[in-house]
């Protein structure tokens, strides 16, 4: 009976691990698409040459750097969680 409960908990644990991994990858893809779109907008603003657009481009660049940092942090947290679960 205890072995059956252990197997069920193990299966549930693996299912949740895979589900979490898939959700993280989907979120990471969306995040990367958002960063790519912001980068394209940044390039468009810089290409116009006006000072107002340059100011907006600087703000957008700061947002891109912040978003990239957040993505790196999330990736590190996810990797640490995977390591803890697998190891």
* Spatial CA neighbour of 20 closest among 67, 71, 77, 70: 77
Confidence of residue 69 (pLDDT cuts 50, 70, 90): very high
Give mean pLDDT, residues 51-75.
Answer: 90
* Segments making up each domain of the chain, as ranges: 24-86
| Residue of 3, 29, 18 lying closest to 85 (CA atoms) | 18
Q: How far is it, in rounded angstroms, from Cα 80 to Cα 86?
A: 10
pLDDT tens digits along 7-37: 999 899 889 889 988 999 999 999 999 999 9
Confidence band for 87, pLDDT divided at 50, 70 and 90: low
pLDDT of residue 54: 87
Count the neighbouring beta carbons within 10 Å of the beta carbon of residue 60. 19
pLDDT confidence of residue 7 = 93
């Amino acid at each position: 009976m205890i072995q059956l409960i252990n197997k069920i908990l193990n299966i549930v644990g693996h299912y949740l691990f895979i589900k979490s991994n898939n959700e993280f990858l989907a979120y990471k893809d969306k995040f990367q698409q958002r960063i790519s779109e912001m980068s394209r907008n940044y390039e468009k603003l810089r290409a116009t040459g006006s000072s107002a657009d340059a100011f907006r481009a600087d703000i957008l660049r700061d947002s891109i750097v912040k978003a990239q940092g957040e993505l790196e942090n999330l990736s590190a947290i996810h990797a640490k969680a995977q390591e803890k679960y697998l190891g």
